[in-house]
Amino acid sequence: MKIFINPGHAPNGQPDPGACNPYTGLQESEVAFCVGEKTVDYLNAVGIDTECLQSDSLAEICSKANSSEADLFISIHCNSAGTAAANGTETWACAGSAAGRQLAQCINDQIVDALDTTDRGVKIATPGINGLYVLSNTDMPAVLVELAFISNAEDVVLLTEQQDEFARAIARGVTDYFN
């Protein structure tokens, strides 16, 4: 069993930090990196192999994932919106992938349970309409999890202080999926 973990955006935020909280300065790339590293630790602790890559190149991410022989692909992001009130957790899967949808549901449920975030549910990305590159271009069941909103005053506290809980929840979602 092997899981490919992709913390979203560029290492150290260079050149792309993803979304940022305008008040605390917290960067999405940093949250994704820390949660990704911790998720690797929790998966390894239960005997699941991992490969982890944060890269500014989506093509590199997909080609490394596709040659990794990983069983599942998980990309980790934070959401952001112009309206500060938007909050909660959502997880994306690619249209047509029942396995991806199932994995997304397992991870989303675990995060909402553990962090008590608003459940925005599983979302479906349809290539050509609202497709997501890493979901459309990976060969295995793949999900993109938006942990919470970095632009929301309450969610950003969770993203700052509860990274370990997010990671634990993702790992539990993976084991739920296999069970």
Q: Footprint of Zn ion on residues 14-53 (CB under 5 A)? A: 18
d(CA 114, CA 15) in angstroms, rounded, equals: 32
- Taking CB under 5 A as the binding criterion, the range among 6-14, 62-70, 110-118, 158-166 that sits at the site for Zn ion is 6-14
Size of the site for Zn ion (CB under 5 A): 3
Q: Where are the beta strands (DSSP E) in 38-99?
A: 49-52, 72-79, 89-94
Shortest distance in whole angstroms from residue 29 CB to Zn ion:
8
- Contact by Cβ (8 Å): 103, 143: yes
Which tokens sit at 133? 């590159």
Shortest gap between Cβ of 87 and Zn ion (angstroms)? Answer: 16
Can you read off the two tokens belonging to residue 179?
A: 């069970």
Decide whether 83 or 179 has the Cβ nearer to Zn ion.
Answer: 83
Q: How far is the CB of 56 from Zn ion (least distance, A)?
A: 12
| Residue of 7, 8, 88, 173 that binds Zn ion (CB under 5 A) | 8
**d(C-alpha 49, C-alpha 129), whole Å:** 34
Query: Residue 167: exposed, middle, or buried by beta-carbon count in 10 A (0-12, 13-18, 19+)?
Result: buried
| Minimum distance, C-beta of residue 1 to Zn ion, in the bound complex (Å) | 26
Site mask for Zn ion (CB under 5 A), range 55-94, x = bound: ----------------------x-----------------
Measure the CA angle with vertex 164, ends 3 and 18; round to 5°.
75
Q: Does 100 bind Zn ion (CB under 5 A)?
A: no
Q: Which residues bind Zn ion (CB under 5 A)?
A: 8, 18, 77
